[in-house]
Amino acid sequence: MKHVPCVCKVWSLCLMGELLSVVASAATATLPGAPDAYLDYVEATGTQYIDTGVNAETGLKARIDMEWGATVKPLADGGDDWSMLDARKTSGDTRFYLCHLAKNTAETSFIFGYGYNSWHRTATEAVRGSRFEVLADFSNPGALSIRRNGAEMLGDGQQTGHANETIDLGLDLYLFACNYNGTASYFARGKLYECKIFRKNAATGAFDMERHYLPAKKNGHVGLYDAANNRFYYSDDPSGTEFVPGPELPRPAAFVEWIEADGTTSSSVAQQYVDTGVWGKLGLKSVVDATLLESSGDHAILAARAKSTGNGRLYMAYHYNGYFCYGDGKLREPKLAKAKPASGTRYLIESDLSASSQSVKVNGTELYNDTFTDTTQFATDSTLALFANNHKDAYVKNPTHSRLYSAKIWDGDELLRDFVPCVASDGEAGLYDIVTERIFKSATKAFDKATQVGVVTNVLVEAAAPTKRIDYVESDGAADYVNLGVVAKDGLEMDAVMEWLTVPDDDVFVGARPSSGNTRFFLYNAWPAHSIGYVKDLPRIADGGENTFFTPVANVKYKVSSRLDDKDQFLAIATDANGAWAALGRTDRTYAGPLDTGIPLYLFARNYIGKADSFAHARVYSLKLRTKQPSGAYAPALDLVPVRDPLTGGAALWDKVGKRYYRSGGSFRLAGGGAERPLTPGFLIILR
């Protein structure tokens, strides 16, 4: 059953017009809602604890990412006896210790202990100041399991010695202390990075998450945010102090399509890789979406290894000597010709390395499916790395030159990591993990935002306004476009300075087309002459002859002015003549509307029913859009200038009217160039 902390007092506070309830126990208070910030860890100094509200009973499992604090009490004086996630009942001295530190029987070192009814010791030393993960599974009394960094700490006798013991203490588990019959005891000193508590569903056998604690801050308090129940916990003991906060974690500022590692193997250059923090062991599953940029050699996409030689491999996504392979302790090489990796090809690699059977699929094709029993308890004592192979020997090998779009890692059915490429609020690029609310960056050389970060797909926190502009932004003519966000309808004017980089032929610079019919709304295009489009009409600028027109020329700057309005359309073109504008021609039309496409204009392409096509290979030096007001005057809607993108290091367009960035919506990043110079503020525009 599900418990809540013992309630001793309840407040109702009205803050800024919003009712905020606070529930507190003797030493644990909670607040509803998400935190103000996430922290790397919270640290207890021996006086703080959290009442989890989860009853200590058979059927629980916990995953604890933590480290023990420094020794306080020497072994000769009894040693430190600390509880990280424990409860104990005085009647019958029944214990339920999921994670405990104590001295060993010989009183020569500190070890991990556990309590399931009675007190037991493991043979694993509890090293101080070292970050580790404990996975304690008390869901099956006949087969208890406690793993440290993926390796089992219990011997066979300890795992099967409790078959007939079902425990229900009727006491809540405490974090950083033991709930000793309702009193906090055996206080721990240490840091907590993450803690999950699960309860086994008796009907289905699945595990339901009861708590998912992440270090955080809220309303000036330091504590733990429970992501499973959207509630914040903090220490509220009047005689104690609050937790010590770790560093505040950066947040995603924008999601990007991919992150690319350079795959360098040079000993003089740092190798790029991301440490996932997931301890390599059998039982893991993963799905990796990546494009390989090299196909030969020995390269790890997601891998860990226990040692340099021997059968210590855990290869979740790997290719070796021209074939996909994997390692479940030993190296497995399917070597199917139809699954040979190819440079520049995108692959979805699915690996299931369960202890009883293993399988690997690549783009839906199963490469291998077999059962191995010789590695049932295999663990690497290394964490899995992305873009390289992480060795127990404290170095990485076999880096890969590849692009990563996403990666997920499970332990059984528990999702451990859900990585999304991003640019962080501190300006660095990395992988945002949705599960732990952390951004994982390259452990060595940072990702280069100008060359190793894909197009921005979603801006979450906009970067600061630019201070310098560049001369132009250019498209690739194949996939780049910018959604201007202005609906293509009557009453629009444009002034732009641009340049075709190749001779255009039915290319659209700014336009939209709402259907497969002939309805066009092109503020400027080439078909192949300088043109605009309004409904069915495509007026062009003539060069004097009845059926001859001026054709756009590559590598020439054009100043384009156009208007599309009911019975009032015009296009005027001027060319750059040694720094001065020389009029090329003008055409005026009075085709009757009205026209409202209902879709936004695209730059460098036409918006064809929501899809970009008719791409323009061109540069833009400036672009202004104005919209017609009820008075008949035209007011500024956009004033775009090319700038360096502070989020990605690439190029973007800054709107001086709306104070926001416009980026490519295509598959590639916009290029840009020219001299950098200070960005001047926009001028006041008088309505005309």
Walk me through the domains of the chain, giving residue ranges and CATH numbers. Answer: 9-245 (2.60.120), 253-459 (2.60.120.200), 468-678 (2.60.120)
Q: Are 211 and 52 in contact (CB under 8 A)?
A: yes
C-alpha dist (Å) from residue 568 to 524, 561, 564, 628: 15, 14, 6, 12
Q: Does residue 334 surpass a pLDDT of 80? A: no
Distance CA 254, CA 649 (A): 13
3-state secondary structure of 341: coil
Q: Residue range 654-681: average pLDDT?
A: 80
pLDDT band per the 50, 70, 90 thresholds, residue 4: very low
pLDDT, position 662: 94
Judge whether residue 147 has pLDDT over 80. yes
Residue 648 is classified by DSSP as: T
Averaged pLDDT, 494-511: 96
Residue of 603, 598, 622, 625 whose CA lies nearest to 614: 603
* Sequence letter at residue 618: A
pLDDT in tens, 396-454: 889 999 999 999 999 999 999 999 999 999 989 999 999 999 999 998 899 998 889 99
**Residues of the chain above pLDDT 90, percent:** 64
Q: What tokens does 518 get? A: 């002939």
Among left, alpha and beta (phi > 0; psi -120 to 50; other), residue 220 is left
Tokens of 439: 């951004």
pLDDT at 335: 65
pLDDT band at 548 (very low <50, low <70, confident <90, very high): low
pLDDT reading at 203 higher than 70: yes
Average pLDDT of the segment spanning 619-646: 95
Per-residue confidence (pLDDT) for residue 613, from 0 to 100: 94
Residues in a beta bridge with 420: 432
**Whether residue 341 has a cis bond before it, omega within 30° of 0:** no
Question: Tell me, what's the pLDDT at 679?
Answer: 64
**pLDDT value at residue 26:** 54
pLDDT tier for residue 309 given thresholds of 50, 70 and 90: low
* Angle ∠(281,286,291) on CA atoms, nearest 5: 130
Does residue 179 sit in helix, strand or coil?
A: strand
CA 178/CA 50 separation, integer angstroms: 10
Task: Give the pLDDT band (50/70/90) at residue 499.
Answer: very high
Average pLDDT of the residues in 491-502: 97
Could you give the CA distance from residue 528 to residue 514 in angstroms, rounded to a whole number? Answer: 21
**Long-range contacts for 650-658 (Cβ within 8 Å, ≥24 apart)?**
650/449, 650/450, 650/453, 651/470, 651/473, 651/474, 652/473, 653/473, 653/482, 653/603, 653/620, 653/623, 654/465, 654/466, 654/469, 654/679, 656/681, 656/682, 657/682
Per-residue pLDDT at 36 = 97
Radius of gyration over alpha carbons of the chain, in Å?
A: 32
Q: Is the pLDDT of residue 609 over 50?
A: yes
Query: From the CB of residue 532, how many other CB atoms can be counted at a distance below 10 Å?
Result: 28
Query: Mean pLDDT across the stretch 335-362?
Result: 85
Helix (H, G, I), strand (E, B) or coil at 167: coil
pLDDT reading at 250 higher than 50? yes
Q: Does 594 sit behind a cis peptide bond, omega within 30 degrees of 0 on the bond before it?
A: yes
pLDDT in tens, 7-41: 333 333 333 333 333 444 458 999 999 999 999 99
Cα–Cα nearest to 652, from 465, 496, 509: 465
AA identity, residue 449: K
CA distance 32 to 27: 17
The number of helix segments (H) and strand segments (E) in the chain equals 1, 59
Return phi, psi of residue 339, to 5°: -115, 20
Q: How many CA atoms lie within 13 A of 332 on its CB side?
A: 21
Given this model, what pLDDT does residue 93 score? 84
209 near 198, Cβ under 8 Å?
yes
Q: What percent of the chain is predicted at pLDDT more than 70?
A: 89
Instruction: Residue 84: name the closest of 63, 105, 103 by CA.
Output: 63
The confidence score (pLDDT) of residue 541 equals: 77
Q: Are 522 and 508 in contact (CB under 8 A)?
A: yes
pLDDT for res 374: 54
pLDDT range class, residue 249, cuts 50, 70, 90: very high
Q: Supply the pLDDT for residue 537.
A: 65
CA distances in angstroms from 201 to 23, 208, 242, 559, listed in the order given = 28, 7, 35, 69
Predicted confidence (pLDDT) at residue 685 exceeds the cutoff of 50:
no
Amino acid letter, 637: A
DSSP 197-209: EEEE-TTT--EEE
300 confidence band (pLDDT: 50, 70, 90): very high
Looking up tokens 């509630």, which residue turns up?
A: 231
Query: In the predicted model, what is the mean pLDDT of residues 97-106?
Result: 93
pLDDT score, position 451 = 87
> How many C-beta atoms lie closer than 10 Å to residue 233's C-beta?
26
What are the phi and psi torsion angles at 354 (to 5°)? -65, 155
Picking from 490, 492, 493, 501, the residue whose alpha carbon sits closest to that of residue 526 is 501
Question: Which residues share a beta bridge with 137?
Answer: 61, 145
CA dihedral 377, 379, 384, 390 (to 10 degrees): -150
Residue 560, class by beta-carbon neighbours within 10 Å (0-12 exposed, 13-18 middle, 19+ buried)? buried
Burial class (CB in 10 A: 0-12, 13-18, 19+), 629: exposed
> Where does 444-529 show beta strands of DSSP type E?
456-459, 468-469, 472-474, 482-489, 492-500, 507-513, 520-526
Nearest-angstrom CA–CA distance, 670 and 380: 43
Amino acid at residue number 552: P
What is the model's pLDDT at position 372? 64
Distance of CA 512 to the CA centre of its chain: 33
| Mean pLDDT, range 629-634, rounded to an integer | 96
Residue 556 scores a pLDDT above 50: yes
Name the least confident of 217-221, 343-347, 663-667, 683-687.
Answer: 683-687
* pLDDT at 522 (0 to 100): 95
- The secondary element (H helix, E strand) that includes residue 157 is helix 156-159
